[in-house]
Amino acid sequence: MSKNILILTGSPRKGGNSDLLAEAFIAGAQQSGHTTVKYVTAAKDIKGCKACKTCFSKGIACSFPDDFNELAPFLEQADMVVFATPLYWFSFPVQLKAAIDKFYSFLIGKRTLKIKECVLLVCGVAEDEAEYEGIVKSYELIADYQKWIDRGILIVPGVNEKGDILKTEGLLRAENLGKSMLSGETA
């Protein structure tokens, strides 16, 4: 079954390591017949949630309008969300985290998302996978809370400069993960 897959990226570096991870996943997913939308949160202006709890009461997701109101319809159309991100301080970059924080608007506005599945693609300079525990745990708790099925966590350690990821198997693994979204396999 073809899915609408929304890829939320976290890096401000176009063509950087996690951007290439996102592109590889997209290539694989498209080969399996899925529709993809890539949304570069770092190229957008999404501010932190102000906890006003008036979400959707004025016909828009966020009453303090920013680019989240552009992202909200993509979230509503998605069957799956993919987070493709560098590790920043053991967690998500703030641009991506701000978008995640505003997922809250769907809870407050009682708008059910049809998203059922999610994926995490993360890279960082750290070689030790233990340093990725923070972002992985956050991702897993978000998935559990939202009742999304985790369809794969791909960590690519030891990459820092743009292009470092080309020296790893990360892109192949991301492409294979994207391709496997039909069959239920994971990386």
Ligand X SMILES: Cc1cc2nc3c(=O)[nH]c(=O)nc-3n(C[C@H](O)[C@H](O)[C@H](O)COP(=O)(O)O)c2cc1C
Residue 62 CB, nearest approach to ligand X (Å): 25
Residue 90 CB, nearest approach to ligand X (Å): 5
Residue 37 CB, nearest approach to ligand X (Å): 19
Residue 73 CB, nearest approach to ligand X (Å): 26
Distances (CA, A) of 83 to 42, 48, 59, 65: 13, 18, 27, 23
Nearer to ligand X (CB atom), residue 18 or residue 36: 18
CB 179 within 8 A of CB 154: no
82: left (phi over 0), alpha (psi -120 to 50) or beta: beta
- Which residue's beta carbon is nearest to the bound ligand X? 16
CB 105 within 8 A of CB 158: no
Nearer to ligand X (CB atom), residue 70 or residue 131: 131
Nearer to ligand X (CB atom), residue 88 or residue 104: 88
Nearer to ligand X (CB atom), residue 55 or residue 96: 96
Q: Which residues bind ligand X (CB under 6 A)?
A: 11, 13, 16-19, 86-90, 123-126, 131, 159-160, 162
Q: Which residues of 145-179 are buried (b: 16+ CB within 10 A; e: fewer)?
A: ebebebbbbbbbbebeeeebbeebebbebbbbbbb
